[in-house]
């Protein structure tokens, strides 16, 4: 096989003499996608947060988290490729990992980015048929969901991801993309990334319909909803599954059914 050149989402060119056989994956949702593309046997290292499928953490080497890893442990695995994400992993981590081997970085802010990532993995790991199959299934489910949602009234929301300090998902990220898909207007969309907010002023000039408390990265519970409801006035405070709003990759296929149930229960 001749050398082949591929470019990742941040513009880094990679030259491969053969299809990568030993994968370290440092993003939970991308680990799940790799498994769904039939690559589980090639995964040699994962993070402690790679919880899907459930058996994986008992069968693969855990090399750390998404922000901090054991470089020596990763080096000992002799990976052909280390799969990262621009938002999930730090620039410092990526630069250090490049001293060990090739680092493929994804950057997912939109649904189109997600389709591209799946196609890229198909080319990178020589599983084009599986990647195309997943993209087709996701596209069909997305179109079905768009028909379901098209006549729903737009609702104004705040989506909380953290407590102490309170932080929300703002614009230019994948959570905001999923909110828009659901016809939820993000009250903080004009801000960037994940700003801190003053909970006592959460509904000031916002006219919120709903406040969503995500199950991750901070595991909001009912007691948190009660605490926050003091400040939300007429807005309903609802616990939501963070994986469905923030996990890209193959997880999106399950998200559409979850979103339908969510709307039916609002």
Q: What is the overall mean pLDDT for the chain?
A: 96
Rounded Cα distance, 11 and 243, in Å: 27
| Whether 169 contacts 162, CB under 8 Å | no
Q: What is the pLDDT of residues 122-151, one digit of tens each?
A: 999 999 999 999 999 999 999 999 999 999
Q: What is the pLDDT of residues 42-90, one digit of tens each?
A: 999 999 999 999 999 999 999 999 999 999 999 999 999 999 999 999 9
Tokens of 43: 């995964």
Percent of the chain residues past pLDDT 70, beyond the cut: 99
Q: What is the band of 203 on the pLDDT scale with cuts at 50, 70, 90?
A: confident
Residue-level length of the chain: 266
In sequence order, what E strands does 147-189 have?
155-162, 167-168, 184-186
Tell me the mean pLDDT in the region 25-49.
98
Q: What is the band of 1 on the pLDDT scale with cuts at 50, 70, 90?
A: low
Per DSSP, 37 falls in state T
Tokens of 30: 């991308």
pLDDT reading at 3 higher than 90: no
Question: Could you tell me the pTM of the whole model?
Answer: 0.95
Query: Strands 23-25, 81-85: parallel, antiparallel or unpaired by DSSP?
Result: parallel
Q: What is the pLDDT of residues 147-188, one digit of tens each?
A: 999 999 999 999 999 999 999 999 999 999 999 999 999 999
Q: What was the pLDDT predicted at 37?
A: 98
Query: Closest Cα partner for 79 from 105, 56, 46, 101?
Result: 101
For 62, list phi and psi in degrees, rounded to 5. Answer: -90, 120
Rounded Cα distance, 163 and 169, in Å: 12
Tell me the mean pLDDT in the region 213-220.
97
Tokens of 59: 């069968």
Angstrom CA distances, 239 to 155, 208, 221, 223, stand at: 16, 15, 7, 11
- What domains are there in the chain, each with its CATH number? 4-111 (3.40.50.1980), 152-265 (3.40.50.1980)
Tell me the mean pLDDT in the region 228-249.
95
Q: What is the band of 205 on the pLDDT scale with cuts at 50, 70, 90?
A: confident
């Amino acid at each position: 096989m001749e050398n082949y050149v591929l470019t990742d989402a941040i513009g880094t060119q990679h030259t491969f003499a053969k299809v990568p056989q030993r994968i370290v994956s440092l993003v939970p949702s991308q680990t799940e996608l790799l498994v769904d593309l039939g690559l589980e046997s090639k995964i040699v290292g994962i993070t402690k947060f790679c919880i899907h499928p459930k058996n994986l953490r008992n069968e693969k080497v855990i090399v750390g988290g998404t922000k901090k890893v054991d470089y020596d442990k990763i080096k000992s695995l002799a990976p052909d490729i280390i799969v990262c994400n621009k938002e999930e992993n730090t620039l410092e981590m990526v630069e250090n990992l490049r001293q060990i081997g090739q680092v493929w970085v994804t950057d997912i802010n939109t649904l189109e980015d997600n389709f591209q990532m799946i196609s890229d993995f198909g080319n990178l790991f020589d599983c084009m048929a599986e990647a195309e199959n997943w993209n087709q299934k996701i596209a069909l489910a997305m179109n079905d969901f768009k028909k379901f949602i098209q006549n729903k009234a737009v609702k104004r929301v705040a989506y909380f991801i953290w407590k102490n300090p309170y932080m929300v998902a703002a614009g230019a990220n994948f959570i905001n993309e999923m909110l828009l898909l659901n016809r939820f207007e993000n009250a903080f969309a004009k801000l960037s990334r994940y700003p801190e907010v003053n909970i006592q002023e959460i509904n000031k000039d916002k006219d919120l319909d709903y406040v969503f408390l995500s199950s991750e990265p901070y595991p909001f519970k009912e007691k948190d909803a009660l605490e926050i409801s003091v400040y939300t006035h007429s807005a309903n405070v609802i616990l939501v599954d963070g994986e469905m709003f923030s996990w890209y990759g193959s997880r999106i296929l399950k998200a559409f059914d979850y979103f339908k149930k969510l709307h039916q229960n609002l």
